[in-house]
Amino acid sequence: MKSPARIVAGLSLCLLFTAGVAAAVKARVLVVVATQDHVVTPGPALEFTRLLNARVLTLEGDCGHLAPGCEAQKLNPAVADFLSR
């Protein structure tokens, strides 16, 4: 079992790596997250969004991982608007 200090050190390294990757991103980014997705939880994407200072679209329906299809009426105009800028 890993000690708490090793876990914290690992998490700190992960955050530094993520910040470094975010600093390298030069493209405009639209992040789409689904609050009820239990396959790909939104937390890491939202943190990356914060680091990028990017736009985020939050899908809040009950479709979970299938939210982009279920909420196409919300997703499609947001993506079209993002791409038109």
Q: How sure is the predictor about 8, in pLDDT bands with cuts at 50, 70 and 90?
A: very low
- pLDDT tens-digit series, residues 15-63: 556 777 888 888 899 999 999 999 888 888 888 889 889 999 999 999 9
Where exactly are the structural domains of the chain? 26-84
Size of the chain, expressed as the number of residues it contains: 85
Q: CA Rg, the chain, in Å?
A: 16
CA 30/CA 81 separation, integer angstroms: 10
